[in-house]
Structure 1
Amino acid sequence: MSSRTPRELIEGRPVLVVIDIQGGGAGEGESAIPFMPGYQEAMDRAPALVAKARECGIPIVFFQEAHRRDLVDFGRELDGAEDVHLLEGDPGTEIAAALGLRPDDYVIRKRRYSCFFGTELEILLKGLRAETLILIGGHTDVCVHYTFVDAHQHDYFCRVVEDAVAGSSVEAHAGALRAMEYLQTGARCSSAEVLAAFESAAS
């Protein structure tokens, strides 16, 4: 017996969550963080999604991972594959200029992978009366996945735009997408589908 209810891409009020699309991009040469091939191409789809959300009156929350220069807030983050990265004051830590950030945008700085951990996100989402969170950015297998899991456990409908996220490797990216789809059937969607859904939500 199945109690599963078919879901729309957008259920109720949507919010676009832009995760860690920062000036450093996919990096050049040696990098403190591994990036899969095609990472930057995926990030390059974000500005169109941001612009359409603005046009359709859909709230956007931008996240910026940043760490203090004395490394006090890294915790166990440096025990894995990543080296020191995204320090406060470094040009590559700033949110990517291509996103067209505005002075009145919602911007939240985070110290850890999940956008919910130690941030004001839950308060903001309650104020926005959000029901569906649409996730773009990186890494699919780290910050995007952990944010999706926390959103799921807070009972939000979650969608991940699979051609506007990218991971530390192709294998890790694909595995994270499967894991998110396991939690919410229909979670995976394309940027084209989201652009169309934004239009429909605004009409």
Structure 2
Amino acid sequence: MSDRSNDRAKNALIVIDMLNTYRHEDASLLLPSVAAALPSVVDLLRRARAGDVPVIYANDNFGLWRSHHGEILDIALSGRRPDLVEPVAPDSDSLFVVKARHSVFYETPLAYLLDTLGVERLVLCGQVTEQCILYSALDAHIRKLEVAVARDAVAHIHADLAHAALRMMERNMSAQVRAGADIVL
């Protein structure tokens, strides 16, 4: 596959499940990795916003089917670790897709939104590497979108599975797996 990390491809930064209450079974395993990934996620957000790259949040809705992005953000900020949510909160230009399953594409309008924006390449960051990041990368690949994953801007529950997931994305999906600072937006 060609490397579309140049100006010819329109990029979008996809922030996956970073608005989190951390009130779930695996939270204690996830939190150290989220704290480590946070600076790179914040840097990607800063660079995307400065470069007018669309920033799209794809987030679970905590099972609240009446929820919207403002409510999801409020719930996450009232969770166990608002210090991990506040730095990555959506700004007024951010786009938002509510998801209920692992992939950002499953039963969401994301594919339509990306097509409308003319996006050809996704830069993925967020959580969880071995779940939502992996399945979202696969669904993007199936849709013939280029994928980049900022390895230092994704958080995991299980380090060994995250490492394997990153290798799978790079090898099987031709994803660019790089440090966030090395990813062109």
**TM-score, normalised to structure 2's length?**
0.82
After superposition, the Cα gap between the structure-2 partners of 1:99 and 1:39, relative to the gap in structure 1 and judged at 3 Å, is closer
Provide structure 1 residue ranges, at least 5 long, that are not aligned to the other structure: 71-85, 199-203
> RMSD of the alignment, in Å?
2.6
C-alpha offsets along residues 94-126 of structure 1, whole Å, 9 cap, x if unaligned? 992212422342011111110000111011001
Structure 1 contact 161–191 (Cα < 8 Å) conserved:
yes
CA distance in 1, matches of 2:50, 2:38: 20
Q: 1:6-25 maps to which residues of 2 (within 5 A)?
A: 6-10=2-6, 12-24=9-21
Distance 1:67 1:186, change over 3 A: closer
Alignment of 1:132-143 (within 5 A): 132-143=121-132
In the alignment, which residue of structure 1 is the partner of 2:25? 32
Distance 1:6 1:69 in 2: 41
**1:52-67 map, 5 Å:** 52-67=47-62
Q: CA deviation at 1:130?
A: 0.5
> Of 88, 98, 102, which aligns to 2:91?
102
Assess, with a 3 A threshold, how the Cα gap between structure 1 residues 6 and 117 changes in structure 2: closer, same or farther: closer
- Percent identity between matched residues is 24
Higher gyration radius (CA): 1
For the 8 Å contact 2:4–2:146, the answer to whether it is kept is no
Alignment of 1:37-76 (within 5 A): 37-68=32-63
SS in 1 for 2:25: coil
Q: Is the 8 A contact 1:15 1:132 kept in 2?
A: yes
Structure with a larger share of its residues in helix: 2
Range that drifts further, 164-173 or 6-15: 6-15
CA distance in 2, matches of 1:99, 1:38: 15
Give secondary structure in 1 for the equivalent of 2:30: coil
1:168 Cα deviation after fit: 1.3
Q: CA deviation at 1:89?
A: 4.5
SS at match of 2:154: strand
User: Counterparts of 2:75 and 2:41 in 1: how far apart (Å)?
Assistant: 24
Task: Please say if residues 37 and 170 of structure 1, whose CA atoms lie closer than 8 Å, have aligned partners that are also in contact.
Answer: no
1:150 aligned to 2:139?
yes
Change beyond 3 A, Cα 1:123–1:50? same
The residue that corresponds to 1:166 in the other structure is 155
Question: Is the contact between residue 19 and residue 89 of structure 2 (CA under 8 Å) also seen in structure 1?
Answer: no
Q: What is the match of residue 182 of structure 2?
A: 193
SS of 1:12's equivalent in the other structure is coil
Separation in 2 of the partners of 1:183 and 1:92? Answer: 36
> 1:62/1:124 Cα in 2 relative to 1: closer, same or farther (>3 Å)?
same
SS state of the match for residue 38, structure 1? helix
Gaps of 5+ in 2: 66-71
Q: How many residues matched?
A: 172
